[in-house]
Amino acid sequence: MLIDHSGPLTRAAVVEDGRLTDLHIDSTERPSRLGEIVLGRVDRIVTALNGAFVDIGGATGLLNNADLRTSAPASRKAARAATTLRTGQAVLVQVKSEPGGGKGPSLTMDVTLPGRFLVMTPFKPGISISRRLAQGDARGRLSQTISEITGGLGGGWIVRGAALGIDSEAVAAEAESLAVAWRGIEARVTSAPPLTLQAGHSAAIRAIIENGGRPISRIVVAERAIRDELVAWGSDLTPLIQVEPEALFDRHDIEGELLRLTDRQVPLPGGGGLVIDRTEALTVVDVNGGERPNPLGTNLDAAAEIARQLRLRNIGGIVIVDFINMASRGDAERVLDALGKATADDPASVNVYGMSKLGLVELTRARRGPPLADHLLAVSRT
C-alpha cells in the first residue's frame, strides 16, 4: 500500500504484483462521508422514491425502504417509510454511498462498525463467517472462538479474512474497541439531530478495511502523521509501515497510472483492448480483439480487466459490456463465470446478469460516490 498526501488530496493505492488494484481518495475540498454514522432528521417522505429524505447536516440523503430497520425483523421486507417514519423524527443512519451523478448520499439504518478483523453489526445479532474463510469443523471452531471473544459485548459480528491466523488477543482487543465505540454512539442518540456521531474512516484506513483478507506486505506512507493515524487505529500495523516523504506516487509510477485511468481506451495484456464510455444513464464497455485471433482468450482477459477498471474508476450503476462473439455457449459461460469471480471481492456490491445472443452482458455496481474522473475534475477546478 502506498499512501500519499499531495495538496488537498490524500490518496491510498493498493499495488499487487506491480499493478494498481485499488484506489481511495480524500480531498480537503470535498471530504468523504462514506461510513459516517449520523443522528439524522427525517425531512420528508417520498412515496414515489420508496423512501425518505433525511437531513444529515450539510446534506440530505435518501433512505430507501430496503434500508429501513424495524423492531420486528420478520416485517422488515414489508417496511415502508410512509408507515414507519414521520417528518421531523430523529433516525440513526449510516452513509453507505457518497453523492455522485447528481444524486445525494444514500443512507441505511443497518449500521456497521468495521475493524480490521471484525465488523460489528449492532442491530443484527449472531456471527457471520464467509464460506471462503472456513468450512466444516474449521468453521465451527472459528465460530466458537469468536463467540467466546465477543460474548457479553452485544450485537452481531462478521469475521473478516484478516482475522485468520491472528492471535485471539488482538481480535479480542478490537472487538472491545468496537463495542466501546458503539456504546459511545448509543449514549448520544438522545441529542438533537442532525448530529454526526462517528466520522467515516480516512482514505488510508479505508484502504486497509476494504483490502479484506489479502495479506499486506508493506505500507509506505508519505508523512509521519499518516503513520501515526494508522498505528493508532491498528497497532499491529507498526512493523509494516515505513515513511518515504517526497513524491511517493511519482517514484512508484502511480501518477502515470492515474492519468491512464482517465483514458477511454485500456489495452489488454494479450492484445486487443477495452473502450469505456460513460453516459448519464449507464457505462458501456466495448471489448476489441484487435489482431488477436482468439475471442475466448481476449474475453477472459477483458473480464479480469473490467473488474479492475470498475473498482479503480469507481464506476457505479448500470454497466453494459459488449464482449466479442464466441462460437459456443460453453465459452460464453466461461466468460460469465470469470467476470463473476473477478468482481466477487469488490467492496461495492456487483451483480452480473446473463449474456445475450449478441454477446452483451448487463451488470450493476453499487454507487459509492462520484466516479474517479469526476472527483479529479472537481479537485482540478479548486
**At residue 320, does pLDDT exceed 70?**
yes
Report the C-alpha gap between 378 and 188 in whole angstroms.
Answer: 35
Phi first, then psi: give them for residue 305, nearest 5 degrees. Answer: -70, -35
* Least confident segment among 118-127, 194-203, 212-221, 275-284: 212-221
DSSP state of 30: S
Report the percent of the chain where pLDDT is more than 70.
93
Q: Which three cell numbers stand for residue 81?
A: 417509510
User: Per-residue pLDDT averaged across 111-135, rounded?
Assistant: 86
- The predicted structure's pLDDT at residue 31: 81
Residue 218: pLDDT band by 50, 70, 90 thresholds? very high
Give the long-range contacts of residues 164-170, CB within 8 A, separation 24 or more.
164/133, 164/134, 164/213, 166/117, 166/236, 170/117, 170/236
pLDDT at 226: 94
> Residues 15-65: pLDDT tens digits?
988 889 999 988 887 788 999 999 999 999 988 888 999 999 989 999 999
Q: Which residue has the cell 498505528?
A: 231
Range with the largest mean pLDDT of 79-88, 114-123, 285-294, 350-359? 114-123
Cβ neighbours for 314, distance < 8 A, ≥ 6 positions apart: 23, 368, 369, 370, 371, 372, 375
Nearest to 369 by CA among 131, 53, 30, 4: 30
The span from the CA of 24 to the CA of 348, in Å, is: 13
pLDDT reading at 306 higher than 60 = yes
* 8 Å CB contact between 147 and 126: no
Q: 148: buried, middle or exposed (CB in 10 Å: 19+, 13-18, 0-12)?
A: exposed
166: confidence class by pLDDT, cuts 50, 70, 90: confident
Average pLDDT of the segment spanning 351-360: 85
Tell me: pLDDT of 278 over 60: yes
Q: Is the dihedral of CA 220, 221, 225, 230 positive or negative?
A: negative
Q: Above 90 in pLDDT, residue 253?
A: no
Task: Confirm if 79 and 40 have CB atoms less than 8 A apart.
Answer: no
Average pLDDT over every residue of 188-200: 94
Q: What is the mean pLDDT of the chain?
A: 87
* pLDDT at res. 378: 53
- Average pLDDT of the segment spanning 78-93: 85
Domains, the chain, ordered by start? 37-111 (2.40.50.140), 112-186 (no CATH), 261-365 (3.40.630)
Pairing of strands 118-121, 241-243: unpaired
Q: What is the pLDDT of residue 328?
A: 87
Reported in sequence order, the residue ranges of 148-303 that DSSP labels E, i.e. its strands, are 156-159, 195-198, 219-221, 241-243, 265-267, 273-278, 282-288
> 158 by DSSP, 3-state: which?
strand
Residue 315 near residue 283 (C-beta atoms within 8 A) = yes
Q: Can you give the length of the chain in residues?
A: 382
Q: In this structure, what C-alpha cell is assigned to residue 190? A: 438522545
Query: Structure pTM?
Result: 0.85
Say yes or no to pLDDT of 75 above 50: no
